[in-house]
Amino acid sequence: MNFASEHRPTQAIINLSAISHNIKEFRGLITVDQEIYAVVKADGYGHGAVPVAKAALEAGATGLCVATVDEAIELRQAGLIQVPILVLGLTSPYGIAEILHYNITITVSNIDFFVKAYEQLEHSEQTELLNLYQLKFHLKLDTGMSRIGLQSKTDIRTFYEQIKGFTWAVWEGVFTHFATAGGGPSTYIQQQWERWEFLLEEVPESVKIRHFANSAMAMYPNYNQKSDIIRLGIAMYGLHPKDLVIKQETYCDEEFEHNATFDQMLALDLQPALQLVSELVYVKKVPSGTSVSYGATYTSQEEEWIGTVPIGYADGWLRAYHSVPVLVEGYKCSVLGVINMDQMMIRLPKAFPIGTEVTLIGMDGGLNNHASSIARQVDTISYEIVTSIGARVPRIYI
Give me the DSSP letters along 320-360.
GGGGS-EEETTEEE-EES---SS-EEEEESS---TT-EEEE
Instruction: Name which of 11, 27, 21 is nearest 269 in CA terms.
Output: 21
pLDDT at position 254 = 55
- Mean pLDDT for 156-166 is 98
Residue 50 near residue 14 (C-beta atoms within 8 A): no
SS3 182: coil
Query: Residue 148: pLDDT band by 50, 70, 90 thresholds?
Result: very high
SS3 146: coil
Query: Residue 118: pLDDT band by 50, 70, 90 thresholds?
Result: very high
Given 247, 285, 294, 350, the catalytic residue: 294
Domain residue limits, the chain: 16-239, 274-380
217 is in an annotated binding site: no
User: Please, what is the average pLDDT of the chain?
Assistant: 94
Distance CA 209, CA 266 (A): 25
pLDDT at position 266 = 79
Instruction: Name which of 67, 152, 162 is nearest 113 in CA terms.
Output: 162
Distance CA 70, CA 106 (A): 12
Q: Is pLDDT of 152 > 50?
A: yes
Whether 294 is catalytic is yes
Distance CA 316, CA 374 (A): 13
Given 37, 41, 251, 313, the catalytic residue: 41
Judge if 16-239 and 274-380 fold alike in CATH terms.
no
pLDDT at position 322 = 97
- Mean pLDDT for 361-383 is 95
For residue range 351-368, list pLDDT tens digits in order.
Answer: 999 999 999 999 998 899
392 is in an annotated binding site: no
**274-380 — its CATH code?**
2.40.37.10
Fold of 16-239: TIM Barrel (3.20.20)
pTM listed for this prediction: 0.94
Residue 335 near residue 326 (C-beta atoms within 8 A): yes
For residue 115, the surrounding DSSP H or E stretch is helix 112-123
For residue range 288-321, list pLDDT tens digits in order.
Answer: 999 999 999 999 999 999 999 999 999 999 999 9
CA atoms within 13 A on the CB side of 130: 16
Instruction: Please provide the size of the chain in residues.
Output: 398
Residue 176 near residue 142 (C-beta atoms within 8 A): yes
Distance CA 254, CA 332 (A): 12
For residue range 5-29, list pLDDT tens digits in order.
Answer: 889 999 999 999 999 999 999 999 9
Percentage of residues in the chain with pLDDT exceeding 70? Answer: 95
Residue 140 near residue 109 (C-beta atoms within 8 A): yes
